[in-house]
Amino acid sequence: METLPLSDPAAHELDLPLYESFDSFESGDSTSLDMGQLLLRAYDIGDLVNQSAEVAEYAYWKTVVDEHEQVRELVKKFAKAKELFADCERFGRFHPDYHAAKDKVKEVEAQLNGIECVSRFKAAEQAVDDLLLAIATEIAGAVSETIKVPSNDPLPKGGGCGGGGSCSCGSGGCG
C-alpha cells in the first residue's frame, strides 16, 4: 500500500499574501474595505490550502477509509451502538443498560481506531485542522491580538477568556 508522508504540523508557514498594506483597501479620501478584493484574496488562500500537502494527504486517506470494507461495517456498528447509548443516556447512569451501551460504543470505537487507515485519516484530518487554525490565527492576529479564534482543541491555549471577569487575561472583555 502506498503511503504519503505526514507533514510536520509545525511547518504551517505558508507565504500567504494576506495584504500588501492597508493602502490597497483605501478608496478616495476615506478608508473602506473593498470586499471584492478581500474575497479574491480569501479564495487565493483557499486555493493554497487546497493545494497543500496536508489536504492531499487528507483526501488520500479519506478515499482509503471510504473504500475499506471493514471500516464501513464498523461504522454501521458504531452508529447502532451510539443510537442505543443515546436511548439509554436519556435516563442517565440509572438506566439498566447504560454502562453496557457506553462500553459497546467505546469497544467499537477502539476497533475503528485500531485500523491503520482510520488512524492515519484522523492524523491527516488533524493536520488540516492545525493548518486552518494557524491561518485563522494569523489573520486574526493581523487585526488584533485579543481576537478569539475558534478551535477544535478541547483545552484552548491563550487568547481572551470570556469567563466573566474572574481572570487577569488583560483582554478587556472580562467584565
Instruction: Count CA atoms closer than 13 A to 28's CA, side-chain side.
Output: 4
Q: Give 127: exposed, middle or buried? Use CB within 10 Å, 0-12, 13-18, 19+.
A: buried
| Mean pLDDT value of segment 41-54 | 97
Alpha-carbon span 72 to 50, nearest angstrom? 26
* pLDDT digit string, tens, across residues 93-134: 899 999 999 999 999 999 999 999 999 999 999 999 999 999
Place of cell 508557514: 13
Say which residue the cell 493545494 belongs to: 51
Averaged confidence pLDDT in the chain: 81
Quote the longest CA-to-CA distance of the chain: 72
Mean pLDDT of 129-155: 91
* pLDDT one-digit tens code per residue, 9-44: 444 445 544 444 444 444 444 457 789 999 999 999
CB 39 within 8 A of CB 116: no
pTM confidence score:
0.68
